Structure 1
Amino acid sequence: MTETVRYRDRTRDYYRALGYPSDYVWSRFDTVPFAPLAKPLSEARIGLVTTASPPDLGNRDASGKRQVWSDAISPAPARLFTGNLAWDKESTHTDDRASFLPIEAVQHGAAEGLVGGVAARFHGVPTEYSQRKTMEIDAPQVLARLRADGADAALLSPL
């Protein structure tokens, strides 16, 4: 029989085990900050967003803090850095870059007419434990980059 793992309970217990003085506070939105597509998906340009870092960890500012970064989808990167992220490294791996940055799958969808096209760049978002930084700094930067790329929608692929 398979045991159900309650993600929020497991996360709360994990943070307590690390000694954090208070439980993790989950983001909550009373109004959803999304909008319906203005055109059919078959006409929409898709932007890709991942939480992986560049292989050279070049997404750091002068103080060493990770920041939003972008790179071309062509040629697709062979790999990205994921060792700094929290995932079950005993049960799985991130050797398959396409599993968390599906460039080829979206390109195939464009070739088949499922989506209108793919933006020329993908964007990386640092995983931070600061909801304030995510909402006030990182999210607006990603949105501005997606808009600059002419993206009509974004596919978010976190690890």
Structure 2
Amino acid sequence: MSFETVVEQYRPLISYIIRKLHIRRHVIDEYMQIGLIALWEAYERYDETKGSFHSFAFKMIRWRIVSQLRKETKNVAIPLLDEQMLKEDVDFFTDIIWEDAMRDMTPRERIWLVRHVIEGKTLKQIADEEGVTVHAVKQWRISAVKKLKRYVNCAAHPCSNK
């Protein structure tokens, strides 16, 4: 069988592979050429003792097209947001959330938050400084964490209940 006959017979297979890989229309011709080159190599290298030509050709064409896709996507530069702008936005929203959360907390919840989370003190140290039990400080923590979770959830998914 001549290669021209093989091309006519396998061109729909190459088109099928290109469609299945969701290759954009403006580069279909380029990938059709890659598929045809792979078909030529399959035609030249095919060994009848190792299975059907169809399976061999399909694997070679698909492998070559996927390989080209990988090469192209490896070198694609994705524009990133300016890191400083992103940091400023995060800092701005974090400040708003903290201010709202702190405004909603009791003085004792704020004591736990500042001394434990920010200053890194243990519950025992806070209890000793405030003249209360560790259990009381744990209750402040539980209550403060509930409020913080609510603010974080509302920041991520706006909610109406405060």
Q: Which has the higher helix share?
A: 2
Give the TM-score, by structure 2 length: 0.21
Choose 1 or 2 for highest CA Rg: 2
The higher-RCO structure (CA 8 Å, 6+ apart) is 1
Give the TM-score, by structure 1 length: 0.21
Q: Which has the higher strand share?
A: 1
